[in-house]
Amino acid sequence: MNGKATTTRTKLERGRSALGPALELVHTGRAPTRAVLTSELGVTRATAGAVAAELEALGLIRVDSSPGSAAGSQGRPSHRLSVLETGPVVLAAQVHADGFRAALVGLGGRIVATSPGCVAVMADPAQVLGEVVEAGAELLRASGLRCVGAGLAVPSAVAEPEGTALNPLHIAWPAGSPVRDIFAACVRRAGITGPAFTGNDVNLTALAEHRHGAGRGAQHLLCVATGHRGVGGALVLDGRLHSGSSGLALEVGHLTVNPEGRPCHCGGRGCLDVETDPLAFLTTARREPGPEESLLKQAGNLLRAEYDDPAVRQAAEELIDRLGLGLAGLVNILNPDRIILGGLHRDLLEADPERLRAVVADRSLWGRSGSVPILPCTLAHNSLVGAAELAWQPVLDDPLAALA
Amino acid sequence: MNGKATTTRTKLERGRSALGPALELVHTGRAPTRAVLTSELGVTRATAGAVAAELEALGLIRVDSSPGSAAGSQGRPSHRLSVLETGPVVLAAQVHADGFRAALVGLGGRIVATSPGCVAVMADPAQVLGEVVEAGAELLRASGLRCVGAGLAVPSAVAEPEGTALNPLHIAWPAGSPVRDIFAACVRRAGITGPAFTGNDVNLTALAEHRHGAGRGAQHLLCVATGHRGVGGALVLDGRLHSGSSGLALEVGHLTVNPEGRPCHCGGRGCLDVETDPLAFLTTARREPGPEESLLKQAGNLLRAEYDDPAVRQAAEELIDRLGLGLAGLVNILNPDRIILGGLHRDLLEADPERLRAVVADRSLWGRSGSVPILPCTLAHNSLVGAAELAWQPVLDDPLAALA
DNA sequence: TGAGTTTGTGCCGCAACTAAACAAACTGCG
DNA sequence: CGCAGTTTGTTTAGTTGCGGCACAAACTCA
């Protein structure tokens, strides 16, 4: 606060303007060589060369001058671009009903190391986050790599700009916990450098899948997934996560998908939330949920192992129809060009993809929208990778400033 | 097509990079003076001065060197910026169930002239669009102003990239009419210069209200409006219209708002579409729709003139409750920071704003989201102005290229 | 081996921008 | 009325990111 609060960016603070976009292209694998980097950026070869050299100098990417004979196209082969293996990493952390886990993630969504993963979650967020961050810090010390930030995925809507967890339902945290600040404090206390970010796990899954998984290349990507209880949604628009004006968008669990369905705590009945989550599946299939495993795993195992059982199959079809109705409603509102499904929804899709696609096509208004591709999530640890994306974002936006 | 299809923009084609943003600031009224233009653009005074001078030289804005004593702030008063009254215009056209209308619209959403407005719509889109464009061309000849483009608003979803009208329900056009191409052909035939664009009327209403009306300054603006039949929605995200990956987003008419409601042609029952449109209101209030006026006008008149009548009031409250349910669903999905309502929904809001806000707050999941401001549309001829925005967009994006 | 093709690099120049110093136009106070 | 203080417009010089161009390099194919 030095007198004048001028927002003017000085020349010195601005990096080469194409630096960020170029790094993002390499990061998402859309620039395998310097030649395609040139065309993707829409600049001259000279500029692309300078940009690639600068990213290499920053220790972020590697430029292979001798690709050792590439594919059989004619002309001089282009230099290969790849993420530098020994480059900086970010700390990614994830908390869910089954426990928590930390990881180091490099550019390109590459998981460098993961902690074993704890299986119990305490009721005190500060304790849980302290432990997971400490596990990450341990990985960091062991690796000897530079850390440029940290990201956390939580199974709850995260309100912006406060950074509070509004409904950490299936982890026993108090609603409204300031998770972003708690996480940031843990990160600082552990001596980890760089900014800390927190986001909803389904949002981060969508982000990860968009950049490195089944959502690659989609313009408007819709992701719907069940956690252990309830349904979450996320939307990536033109490459950016849309989390609404206060971080609460895509709370899709309360679309009506069965007018005669069971009552929901929201006041309605037959909501997507209570009609298509793991508990709904077990109940519909008339199975008693056991205490030994998470509902999600029980439901998934049942669906895969006993699909021949008429009761299981019928329950699956019922859930598929309800899910299809919900997706059709979302298609009418959001008009995505791709849908990816996670959790139990992913299992339902794989159990009978034709049925789900038919319901969505039938109940969405236009033929074109009805034929939206529906795919399963493909990435392992996708919300961890998504948490890492959050931490990488400043670097992708402005590499010079973020690494300074 | 000169051999190489290079996408590289040459230096000559690029204008001063801040030219577009600067024009947009003046256009939307966010840069009343050169001083705030400087700070909004985040550039030096020298640059802002050069940019303003260039826009003035292009004949787009006016720079008043002698403001004749401004407000009582100290220091040298800044030059006033305003759109040039005699600057170029665009041709805006609108077709709806009651007829069609043409207008000339300048920068800043200023309506320069309007045609009388025809009250009948023929079944042949080519004929209707031919007439409305001819009316616009006549206005143009009379004004002697330069025309830089044309925009059309139609009461139908417009599929992208084909530009076809998918459901021109309440105008008797064939579904799938290539309205964009027809309009463009009419525009060219009338000798009007500049590109031609076509969009859905509710989308364009939202765009117009965002830039010049009740949506100003909103980050994520949701607009819901009834036409003469049915319900339409639109979303403006970070200043850009979100029309989905194929132009079909925000088809919000088929959210379930009354599980026991009347059946809808979409296959469901109790859809927003059939529960909150003008016909639904008249029916619920047990009034026989007359043939002399449009349903929208009849419903609006009834609501305003006979709100004391218990049957009318009860019908209004029923519709408000249903609308609130629908809006709450959209709030949960989109998390907008402002909602504006048009058509009968606007009348319902004004009849009992408290009730509507209460329902939305009650049925949306989070308190914060529940307190979204809900406002009526304020702009006269908002879809005409929106159609004009479409035509102005290339100029706002790159003034030099668009006026060349 | 040489022609053709595609890519990397060095050099020049432009144009858009910043920075800095100065001039201009106002307010307010003595 | 005059002068200090404040804010804005303008001029000048200097920096720089990037396009354009020419040429070299590295490959394929006949």
Q: What is the pLDDT of residues B254-287, one digit of tens each?
A: 999 998 899 988 888 899 999 999 999 999 999 9
> Which position has the higher pLDDT, A266 or B104?
B104
Question: Which CATH homologous superfamily contains domain B89-204+382-403?
Answer: ATPase, nucleotide binding domain (3.30.420.40)
Residue whose structure tokens are 């993707």 = A40
Q: How far apart are CA A356 and CA A352, in angstroms?
A: 7
Q: Least CB-CB distance to A368: which of B246, B332, B337?
A: B246
What pLDDT is recorded for position A68? Answer: 56
Q: How far apart are CA B319 and CA B274, in angstroms?
A: 10
Residue whose structure tokens are 């309100």 = A159
CATH dotted code for A89-204+383-396: 3.30.420.40
Q: Please, how many CA atoms are within 13 Å of residue B37, restricted to the half-sphere of its CB?
A: 33
Beta bridge pairs of residue A109? none
Residues 6+ apart with CB under 8 A from B32: B80, B81, B82
Q: What are phi and psi of B364, to 5 degrees?
A: -90, 155
Cβ atoms of residues B109 and B211 within 8 Å: yes
Written as six digits, the tokens of B311 are 């049957």
Q: Is the CB of A4 under 7 A from strand C?
A: no
Among A15, A37, A58, residue whose Cα is nearest residue A403? A58
Q: Name the pairing type of β-strands A220-226 and A338-342.
A: parallel
In this predicted structure, the answer to whether residue B3 has a pLDDT above a threshold of 50 is: no
Cβ atoms of residues B312 and B285 within 8 Å: yes
Q: How far apart are CA A231 and CA B270, in angstroms?
A: 24
Number of H helices, E strands in chain A: 15, 14
Residues in chain B: 404
CATH dotted code for A216-376: 3.30.420.40
- Concatenating the DSSP letter of every residue in A189-213 gives HTT--S-EEEEEHHHHHHHHHHHHS
The residue type found at B270 is G
Q: Which nucleotides of C are covered by protein (CB under 7 A)?
A: 4-11, 14-21, 23-28
Put simply, whether B275 touches A (Cβ < 8 Å) is no
Q: How far apart are CA B83 and CA B86, in angstroms?
A: 9
% of chain B residues with pLDDT over 90: 81
Shortest Cα distance, chain A CAs vs residue B145, angstroms: 37
Residues with CB under 7 A from strand D: A 11, 14, 16-18, 42-47, 50-51, 66-67, 69, 72-77; B 8-12, 33-35, 38, 45-46, 48-49, 53, 65, 73-79
Q: How far apart are CA A219 and CA A241, in angstroms?
A: 11
Give the three-state DSSP class for B347. helix
Q: Please, how many CA atoms are within 13 Å of residue A382, restricted to the half-sphere of its CB?
A: 26
In this predicted structure, the answer to whether residue B359 has a pLDDT above a threshold of 90 is: yes
Per-residue confidence band for B7, with pLDDT thresholds at 50, 70 and 90: very low
Q: How far apart are CA B45 and CA B161, in angstroms?
A: 41
Q: How far apart are CA B95 and CA B284, in angstroms?
A: 28
What pLDDT is recorded for position A267? Answer: 83
Cβ atoms of residues B200 and B165 within 8 Å: no
A6, A332, A359, A364, best to mutate vs chain B, most B CBs in 10 Å: A332
Put simply, whether A335 touches B (Cβ < 8 Å) is yes
In this predicted structure, the answer to whether residue B10 has a pLDDT above a threshold of 70 is: no
Written as six digits, the tokens of A31 are 């620039």
Q: How far apart are CA A92 and CA A131, in angstroms?
A: 13
Cβ atoms of residues B26 and B107 within 8 Å: yes
Name the residue in chain A with its Cα closest to that of B11: A43
Task: Tell me the average pLDDT of chain B.
Answer: 92
Residue whose structure tokens are 């992913």 = A346
Among A221, A237, A204, A213, residue whose Cα is nearest residue A391? A204
What pLDDT is recorded for position A235? Answer: 98
Edge-to-edge strand ranges of the sheet holding A231-237:
A240-242, A231-237, A220-226, A338-342, A374-376
* Cα A7 off chain centre by: 32
Written as six digits, the tokens of B291 are 């043939």
Beta bridge pairs of residue B235? B222, B242
Q: Least CB-CB distance to A335: which of B244, B254, B255?
A: B244
Q: Name the pairing type of β-strands B158-159 and B164-165.
A: antiparallel
Q: Please, how many CA atoms are within 13 Å of residue B31, restricted to the half-sphere of its CB?
A: 28
Cβ atoms of residues B368 and B133 within 8 Å: no
Going residue by residue through chain A (404 aa), what tens digit of pLDDT does each one get?
333 333 333 434 455 789 999 999 999 999 999 999 999 999 999 999 999 999 999 999 999 987 655 566 888 999 999 999 999 999 999 998 888 999 999 999 999 999 998 777 788 999 999 999 999 999 999 999 999 999 999 999 999 999 999 988 778 899 999 999 999 999 999 999 999 999 999 999 999 999 999 999 999 999 999 988 789 999 999 999 999 999 999 999 999 999 889 999 888 889 999 999 999 999 999 999 888 788 999 999 999 999 999 999 999 999 999 999 999 999 999 999 999 999 999 999 999 999 999 999 999 988 766 689 999 999 999 999 999 999 999 999 999 999 98
Give the three-state DSSP class for A167. coil
Q: How far apart are CA A344 and CA A349, in angstroms?
A: 9
Cβ atoms of residues B89 and B148 within 8 Å: yes
Third-level CATH fold of A19-83 = Arc Repressor Mutant, subunit A (1.10.10)
Q: How far apart are CA B136 and CA B103, in angstroms?
A: 6
What pLDDT is recorded for position B66? Answer: 72
Per-residue confidence band for B23, with pLDDT thresholds at 50, 70 and 90: very high
Which one-letter DSSP state was computed for residue B106? -
For the CA of A114 and the C1' of D1, the distance in angstroms is 79
- Phi/psi-derived region of residue B191, left when phi > 0, alpha when psi is between -120 and 50, beta in every other case: left
**Fold identical between B19-83 and B89-204+382-403?**
no
Residues 6+ apart with CB under 8 A from B194: B90, B147, B148, B149, B150, B391
Shortest Cα distance, chain B CAs vs residue A151, angstroms: 23
Cβ atoms of residues B112 and B161 within 8 Å: no
pLDDT digits (tens, 9 = 90+) for B68-86: 555 668 899 999 999 999 9
Third-level CATH fold of B217-376 = Nucleotidyltransferase; domain 5 (3.30.420)
Q: Which ranges in A64-178 belong to alpha helices (H)?
A: 125-143
Written as six digits, the tokens of A15 are 């990096």
Treating both helix axes as pointing N-terminal to C-terminal, what angle do A353-363 and A343-351 enclose, rounded to 10 degrees?
A: 100
Domain ranges of chain A: 19-83, 89-204+383-396, 216-376
What pLDDT is recorded for position A98? Answer: 81
pLDDT digits (tens, 9 = 90+) for B131-156: 999 999 999 999 999 999 999 999 99
Q: What are phi and psi of A13, to 5 degrees?
A: -75, -30
Q: Which ranges in B42-178 belong to alpha helices (H)?
A: 45-57, 125-143
